[in-house]
Amino acid sequence: MILNAFFLAFKQIRKNYLRAFLTMLGIIIGVGSVIVMLALGNGATQKITSEISSLGSNLLIVFPARNLNNDGKSKKRNFTMQEVDTIRSRLPGVRAVAPFSSTSVIAQYFSSNTQTQANGITKDYFEVTLWDLSSGRSFRDIEYTSGASVCILGESVKKALFGDENPLGAQIKVVKNMCEVIGVLEAKGQGAMGNDQDDAIFMPFKTFQRNVSGKNTLFNVNRIMISLNDDTDSTEATNNLKQILRDIRDIKAGQRDNFEIMDTKEIEKMVSSTTSVLTLFLGAIAGVSLIVGGIGIMNIMLVSVTERTREIGTRLAIGALEGEVLLQFLIEAVVVSSLGGIIGIFLAFFVALGASHLMNIPFVFHIDVAVFAFLFSALIGVIFGYLPARRASRLNPIEALRYE
């Protein structure tokens, strides 16, 4: 009986295919919207978390904070190498500590030039940031200690100055000093703050101080990056680090910190949680169109019952049970909504794929979301198809046969 009901349902859809398609349209749009919203939201979440992770694993970043002087003017106190050494020796669970300084410069190679960021680093920097070379070599210990005029380029700087040429061994001009290119870093792309991470030049810290910044001061570290061991609790490490910095910077009780600590793990969790909630919220809004589609199915099925009153009366008159008529119209509603769900899933797949490419985010398509959307579309057919089916099953056969 059920198989025959499905056969009659497909026959009825084929007979009125245009009306059936228009009935499905609300379900198609609803299912498609939900899947596209969730796919794009999950893709955006994945991109943001991967960009934060690209800074390094289990990483704390310390910045100098701006505080007000007694005269109301803002000041910012950088860090010293002695403070860096104290952090390295006193903070538990540290894998590596990488102080560095940076400034905006003009880099030039013959007629090509570009404005970029010059960074003075120590030997732990590439270990902390998990950044590998695509060609060339890293700095040697003697080059760090002597302040040799050597540098490593980010991919964007390499393309701006050299195009497709091999830059290794070439001499570029940074500010007023020449620098030999010894390596090129692997491309990292856009950072979590929207910056181009590959638009940078790296050189030994002493080289940067002598040839680029030119500042002869103890407070010569702009930022400290601290990589923790995998089993170290970053929240506890942040609290310990805060206390160490307050001690060595002589910050009294009640005074504001003149530094800021960024925990990449906590930021990743917060961003992931926020974007997940936003994605579900957008998916729920898109799901409202499924309800609208269900109302459309109910309206069309009521019209169909009215049009087929004589057919229903004939079936009831020759012995069909109310339950059989109810099941027939209910299956028709479920078939229409389920077909709409299947079409919506296929359309959503290609729309999400194209939108992900245009927005430059990962394409994330979860099969379980598609299955849930399909089952929900079938449930919509049951819920909104029941009233018309019940009305059809309760028609009086005599009155139905007289209906014009």
Q: What is the pLDDT of residues 74-90, one digit of tens each?
A: 577 889 889 999 998 89
Residue ending a domain, among 257, 280, 304, is 257
pLDDT > 60? residue 401 = no
Domain count, the chain: 2
In a domain, 288, yes or no: yes
**Within this chain, do residues 360 and 274 fall inside the same structural domain, yes or no?**
yes
Question: CB-side exposure of 371: number of CA atoms within 13 Å?
Answer: 3
Examine the domain organization and report whether 25 and 134 are in the same domain: no
Beta-bridged to residue 261, according to DSSP, are 62
Residues 340 and 229 occupy one common structural domain: no
Reported in sequence order, the residue ranges of 28-121 that DSSP labels E, i.e. its strands, are: 59-64, 66-68, 74-76, 94-109, 112-121
* pTM of the complete model: 0.63
Last residue of a domain, one of 257, 282, 308: 257
What pLDDT digit, counting tens, does each position of 347-358 carry? 989 998 898 888
Reported in sequence order, the residue ranges of 200-272 that DSSP labels E, i.e. its strands, are 200-204, 223-228, 259-263
Question: Is 239 in the same domain as 116?
Answer: yes
pLDDT at position 375 is 84
Q: With respect to residue 323, please indicate whether it lies within any of the assigned structural domains.
A: yes
Whether 61 and 227 have beta carbons less than 8 Å apart is answered as no
CB 95 within 8 A of CB 237: no
Point out which residues pair with 61 in neighbouring strands.
Answer: 225, 262
Same domain, 291 and 391: yes
Residue 162 domain-assigned?
Answer: yes
Residue 105 binned pLDDT confidence (cut-offs 50, 70, 90):
very high
Confidence of residue 341 (pLDDT cuts 50, 70, 90): confident
Q: Does any domain span residue 123? A: yes
**Local structure of residue 252 (DSSP, 8 states):** P
Residues 6+ apart with CB under 8 A from 39: 348, 352, 356, 363, 364, 365, 366, 369
Q: Is residue 69 part of a domain?
A: no
**Section 6-35 average pLDDT:** 75
- Does some domain include residue 23? yes
Pairing of strands 59-64, 223-228: antiparallel
Other C-beta atoms lying within 10 Å of the C-beta of residue 231: 7
Q: What is each CA distance from 393 to 7, 56, 378, in whole angstroms? A: 19, 66, 21
Closest CA to 108 of 156, 160, 182, 165: 160
Mean pLDDT of 201-214: 89
- Shared domain check, 118 and 160: yes
What pLDDT sits at residue 142?
93
Q: Is the pLDDT of residue 165 over 70?
A: yes
pLDDT tens-digit map of 110-121: 889 999 999 999
If phi > 0 it is left, if psi is from -120 to 50 it is alpha, else beta; for residue 360 that is: left
User: How confident is the model over 360-389, as pLDDT tens digits?
Assistant: 888 888 888 888 888 888 888 777 777 777
Number of other residues whose CB lies within 10 A of the CB of residue 383: 15
- Phi-psi bin for 215: left (phi > 0), alpha (psi -120 to 50), beta? beta
Summarize the confidence of residues 316-325 as an average pLDDT: 67
Whether residue 121 sits in one domain with residue 224: yes
Q: What confidence score (pLDDT) does residue 319 get?
A: 64
In-domain check, residue 363? yes
For residue 44, give the nearest of 273, 361, 365, 369 by alpha carbon: 361
Could you tell me what percent of the chain has a pLDDT over 90? 20
In the listed set 228, 257, 286, which residue is the last one of a domain according to the structure?
257
DSSP codes of every residue in 129-178:
HT--EEEE----HHHHHHT-SEEEE-HHHHHHHHTTS--TT-EEEETTEE
Q: What is the pLDDT of residue 24?
A: 79
Structural domain span for residue 113: 78-257
Q: Are residues 98 and 11 in the same domain?
A: no
* 332 in any annotated domain: yes
Same domain, 230 and 87: yes
Q: Do 86 and 215 sit in the same domain of this protein?
A: yes
Banded pLDDT at 2 (limits 50, 70, 90): low
pLDDT bucket at 359, cuts 50 / 70 / 90? confident
Quick one: 300 and 243 in the same domain? no
Same domain, 132 and 192: yes
